[in-house]
Amino acid sequence: MSTLKAFDSARWVKIALLCVVLVALPFVIDATLGRAWVRIIDVALLFVMLALGLNIVVGYAGLLDLGYIAFFAVGAYCYALLASPQFGIHGSFLVLLPLGAMVAAVFGIILGAPTLKLRGDYLAIVTLGFGEIIRIFLNNLNRPFNLTNGPQGITLIDPLQAGGISLSKTYTYDGFAIAPVHLYYFVFLACALLTIFISLRLENSRIGRAWVAIREDELAASAMGINTRNVKLLAFAMGATFGGVAGGLFASFQGFISPESFTLLDSVMVLCMVVLGGMGNVRGVVLGAILLTALPEALRYIGPLQQQWLGRVFIDPSDLRMLLFGLALVLMMLFRPAGLWPSKTRQRELIGIDATEKAGG
Amino acid sequence: MPPLLEVRGLKVAYGGINAVKGIDLDVGAGELVALIGANGAGKTTTLKALAGLLKPAAGSVRYDGHDVTGTPAFELVRRGLALVPEGRGVFARLTVAENLAMGAYIRDDKAAIAADCEHAYATFPRLAERRSQLAGTLSGGEQQMLAIARALMCKPRLLLLDEPSMGLAPIVVQKIFETIRAVAREGVTLLLIEQNARLALQTCDRGYVMESGLITLSGEAKALLDNPDVRRAYLGE
């Protein structure tokens, strides 16, 4: 009994510490690394949401989706169109974020329904096409009726604001300034934590088990009494919902969106976060999202460092970024094929049964 | 009393190819019925259609007094009609215990599920020894036992078994058929497909012989075993 109590209090101390760290983080980063890094953390949190959404589709249900960024785009445009001078509508985010999530979910089902019988490579191709279709539509829906403003994108998108408080303003208390990037940090953190919570709950739910069954053997899954059609559609819809919310937040945060933000490369990046981090494991996916957002930014320092130490820039950091990224992917697949922090069942699948049996006893 | 499963004029087609060309078949409650035939006779297709995994092109399927033609599999499982798929279809990368839990997917009575799990382990001591082992690491015979145990977890009244002896050593096949008899004794109605005609007919009460999509013979299992046509075609005499 006493050990249980000790464990509990240790756990609470940990949680309290984590809270303090998370609250202090943007201010510490701001003071040490500069404001640009607070912004990077904000973006990383958005990618945590996106990666967790894709993790439902790819990691839990095992459906390879290469057009996931389309749902991010749908959420972002949904918010941007209804909270900008584009149509002169300035809706509240309290309405627009859930609306964006719902619209994205509908798009998820629109993508899911015709692909129910597809798996693996074939599904990947169709989802890739879907992602491109959405982007091309956004690019061209400025004629005959200007819906999306085409390649110019939508500007002057409203920030998150409610009851006179706007997240685009700096608030000062006793000389302590809280800038928009800090405010957005807390909003994104709350949303990311909520996504993590939902993901964890889903993983151990009945639905989560149904997804595992489908991933393993679809025929056997339906013989277990699982409605494979609905459960797969639910995976697409849930994943899209996360993407839609992240999209709305992204639009409000940036104040400007254009189809260029939603390319195939972005879909691939989110997929890499899921795969590198550890498919199917929430912790791994969060880690993957943060690493893949932060590391390319950190590489920017390579340019000035070369200047300082070697006299001139030999390798352009932007070239180095793709090179290192490719190298990292190859090394990962060789040495940690199940990701940095894999889930147990996924590890069995990707490394092979014998290896885990030895490791797990 | 009408039979538990009543099939009339069932036709199943893949695209333009008729795999099952109109068959009649009855399975009474508590019976143990075999459907035998050579490769490609349409046995698996028939079973898949009965389990709701394929939509029949024509004909009717009545189960427990209701028309269930074209009812999807997940619905039929809830009504107590379960299938052990061909090639066993265990979840290879889940443990034995996780596989059994998956079998009880449609149920939510935790205590009863746990009790049934223990019952399964008592029936299949091999599985109990390996409960935390991955299903993919089991031998073929153990996997078949797991597949049957898993299907029983949804408390079926009628269990369809697709080639339980496939790819197993003769001594293991004997063991599986003992298991099947034990399941039948517990009151589960069984319809099984077999290529191993002798063993199937020795085990079952009645049998149907299927040949290129049609049922050519049917009757008491003993009578079929003595039938010269069956002996020549399926028993190698």
| Cβ within 8 Å, pair A223-B72 | no
ipTM of the complex: 0.87
Instruction: For residue A313, give the amino acid letter.
Output: V
Q: Which residues pair with B14 in a beta bridge?
A: B17
Of A100-104, A189-193, A310-314, B142-146, least confident by mean pLDDT is A310-314
pLDDT at residue B167, rounded to an integer = 86
Q: How far apart are the first and last CA of chain A?
A: 29
- Is the Cβ–Cβ distance between A157 and A149 less than 8 Å? no
Q: Does residue B3 sit at the A interface (CB-CB below 8 Å)?
A: no
Residue in A225, A345, A354 closest to B106 by CB: A225
Could you write out the DSSP letters of every residue in B151-179?
A: HHTT--SEEEEE-TTTT--HHHHHHHHHH
Q: Which residue of B has its CA nearest to A217?
A: B91
Q: Which carries the bigger pLDDT value, residue A134 or residue A332? A: A134
Identity (one letter) of the amino acid at A329?
Answer: L
Burial status of residue B58 (CB atoms within 10 A of its CB: 0-12, 13-18, 19 or more) = middle
Q: Answer yes or no: are the C-beta atoms of A70 and A134 closer than 8 Å.
A: yes
What is the distance between the alpha carbons of residues B68 and B60, in angstroms, rounded to a whole number? 8
Q: What is the pLDDT of residues A128-168, one digit of tens each?
A: 999 999 999 999 999 888 999 999 999 999 999 887 788 88
| Collapsed DSSP state (helix, strand, coil) of residue A89 | strand
Min Cα separation B172/chain A (Å): 23
Rounded to the nearest angstrom, the minimum Cα separation between B54 and chain A is: 11
Q: Determine which of A307-311, B18-22, B75-79, B134-138 has the lowest per-residue pLDDT on average.
A: A307-311
State how far the Cα of A65 lies from the Cα of A129, in Å rounded to an integer: 10
pLDDT at A353 over 60: no
CA A288, CA A272: separation in Å to the nearest integer? 8
CA B6 remoteness from chain centre: 16
Give the separation between CA A160 and CA A142, rounded to whole angstroms. 26
Hey, is the C-beta of B202 within 8 angstroms of any chain A C-beta?
A: no
- Closest CA relative to residue B7, chosen from B61, B47, B69, B45: B61
Tell me the chain A residues in contact with residue B91 when contact means C-beta distances shorter than 8 Å: 212-213, 216-217, 220
Check CB contact of A355 with chain B, cutoff 8 Å. Answer: no
From CA A71, how far away is CA A57, in angstroms rounded? 12
Q: Read off the DSSP letter of residue B72.
A: -
**Which comes out higher in pLDDT, residue A113 or A352?**
A113
Higher pLDDT, residue A45 or A168: A45
Is B122 near chain A, with CB under 8 Å? no
Q: Which of A74, A204, A52 is nearest to A137 (CA)?
A: A74
- Cβ neighbour number for residue A233 with a 10 Å cutoff: 19
Distance CA B84, CA B161 (A): 5
Q: Quick check: A345 pLDDT over 70?
A: no
Beta carbons within 8 Å of A201's beta carbon, 6+ residues apart = none
Which of A357, A361, A341, A359 has the alpha carbon at shortest distance from A55?
A: A341
User: Which of A3-12, B44-53, B205-214 shows the lowest mean pLDDT across its residues?
Assistant: A3-12
Residue A222 has what pLDDT? 92
Question: Closest by alpha carbon to B34, among B141, B161, B156?
Answer: B161
* Structural contact between residues A183 and A252, judged by C-beta atoms closer than 8 angstroms: no
Give the residue among A73, A132, A78, A133 at the shortest CA–CA distance from A102: A78
Lowest pLDDT segment from A198-207, A262-271, A304-313, B49-58: A304-313
The reply to whether A217 touches chain B by the CB within 8 Å rule is yes
Q: Which helix (H) or strand (E) holds B186?
A: none
Task: Give the pairing of strands A171-173 and A176-178.
Answer: antiparallel
Instruction: Tell me whether residues A356 and B134 touch, CB distance under 8 A.
Output: yes
Residue A308 clears pLDDT 50, i.e. is over it:
yes
A205 part of contact set with chain B, CB < 8 Å: no
Higher pLDDT, B1 or A43: A43
Give the per-residue pLDDT at A3: 57
Report the pLDDT value the prediction gives residue A359, as an integer from 0 to 100: 39
Q: In angstroms, rounded to a whole number, what is the distance separating the alpha carbons of residues A301 and A322?
A: 15
Strands B58-63 and B66-67: antiparallel
Q: Can you list the domains of chain B with their CATH numbers?
A: 5-88+159-234 (3.40.50.300)
Q: Is A160 helix (H, G, I), strand (E, B) or coil?
A: coil
pLDDT, residue B105, reads: 92
Give the pLDDT of residue A230: 95
Strands ordered across the beta sheet of B158-162: B81-84, B158-162, B189-194, B32-37, B206-211, B214-220
Q: Does B14 touch chain A (CB under 8 A)?
A: no
Amino acid at A353: I
Token pair, residue A45, equals: 């949190």
Q: What is the mean pLDDT of residues A59-69?
A: 94
pTM, to two decimals: 0.88
Question: Taking a C-beta distance cutoff of 8 angstroms, is the pair A236, A103 a contact?
Answer: no
Contacts of A227 in chain B (CB under 8 A): 72, 74
| pLDDT band, very low/low/confident/very high, at A9 (cuts 50, 70, 90) | confident
B 137-176 residues with CB below 8 A of A? 137, 150-151, 154
Instruction: Specify the pLDDT at position A5.
Output: 60
A357 pLDDT exceeds 50?
Answer: no
- Is B91 in contact with A213 (Cβ distance < 8 A)? yes
User: Angle A317-335/A264-277 helices, nearest 10 degrees?
Assistant: 40
Residue B231 has pLDDT above 90, yes or no: no
Q: pLDDT above 70 covers what percent of chain A?
A: 93
What's the pLDDT tens digit per position in B139-174?
Answer: 999 999 999 999 999 999 999 999 999 889 899 999
Q: Which pLDDT band holds residue A354 (cuts at 50, 70, 90)? A: very low
Is the pLDDT at A348 greater than 80, yes or no? Answer: no
Q: Dump the DSSP string for A225-278.
A: T--HHHHHHHHHHHHHHHHHHHHHHHHHHHS-B-GGGG-HHHHHHHHHHHHHH-
Reference A279, options A328, A326, A235, A338; nearest CA is A338
In 10 A of CB A170, how many CB atoms? 11
Give me A324's structure tokens: 């290192």
A223: which chain B residues are within 8 Å (Cβ-Cβ)?
A: 51, 53, 73, 77, 82-85, 89, 151
Buried b (16+ CB within 10 A) or exposed e, B82-109: bbbbbbbbbbbbbbbbbbbbbbbbbeee
Residues B199, B181 contacting (CB under 8 angstroms): no
Check CB contact under 8 Å for A349 and B137. Answer: no
Kindly provide the residue ranges of all beta strands, DSSP E only, lying in chain A, ordered along the sequence.
Answer: 83-84, 89-90, 161-162, 165-166, 171-173, 176-178
What pLDDT is recorded for position A358?
40
Which of A227, A349, A357 lies closest to B74 in CB terms? A227
Half-sphere exposure of A335 (CA within 13 A, CB side): 7
